[in-house]
Amino acid sequence: EAGVTQSPTHLIKTRGQQATLRCSPISGHTSVYWYQQALGLGLQFLLWYDEGEERNRGNFPPRFSGRQFPNYSSELNVNALELEDSALYLCASSFKGTFTDTQYFGPGTRLTVL
């Protein structure tokens, strides 16, 4: 069974540009989560999508947005990139969006903002 996949593996952008990161959940999973792992800041919850809807977001500005498609894959968009957006972005999926579910993570996309 395929795990969570993310693309691209690495992404290099310059300040002010937009970045788009993609995630495909494990087959059968309807919930997708995005986390940011920035140096020195640990793993921070960004967004949660379930059944095509944004269900919760963490303490991040509106320029972090995303969506979930009918096939449950998801896209994270970061507009007006800032240097501090450089981080590893991890996507996770779970069977349902309940607190009891285990979240399974993808390999991440490393975003570098120059």
Partner 1 sequence: AQKVTQAQTEISVVEKEDVTLDCVYETRDTTYYLFWYKQPPSGELVFLIRRNSFDEQNEISGRYSWNFQKSTSSFNFTITASQVVDSAVYFCALSEATGTASKLTFGTGTRLQVTL
The answer to whether 99 contacts partner 1 (rule: CB under 8 A) is yes
User: Rounded CA gap, 45 and 60, in Å?
Assistant: 9
The answer to whether 22 contacts partner 1 (rule: CB under 8 A) is no
Looking at 8, 16, 18, 43, which residue binds partner 1 (CB under 8 A)?
43
Looking at 31, 68, 74, 93, which residue binds partner 1 (CB under 8 A)?
31
Burial state string for 71-110 with b = 16 or more CB within 10 A and e = fewer than 16 = ebbbbbebeebeeebbbebbbbbbbebeeeeebbebebbe
Looking at 13, 22, 58, 67, which residue binds partner 1 (CB under 8 A)?
58
Query: At closest approach, how far in Å is the CB of 110 from partner 1?
Result: 7
The answer to whether 72 contacts partner 1 (rule: CB under 8 A) is no
User: Facing residues of 22 across strands?
Assistant: 7, 75
Query: At closest approach, how far in Å is the CB of 84 from partner 1?
Result: 18
C-alpha count within 13 angstroms, C-beta hemisphere, residue 98? 4
Examine residue 25 and say whether the peptide bond preceding it is cis (omega within 30 degrees of 0).
no
The answer to whether 92 contacts partner 1 (rule: CB under 8 A) is yes
Strand pairing category for 53-57 and 42-50: antiparallel
For binding to partner 1 (CB under 8 A), which residues are involved?
31, 33, 35, 42-43, 45, 48, 50, 55-56, 58, 88, 90, 92, 94, 97-108, 110
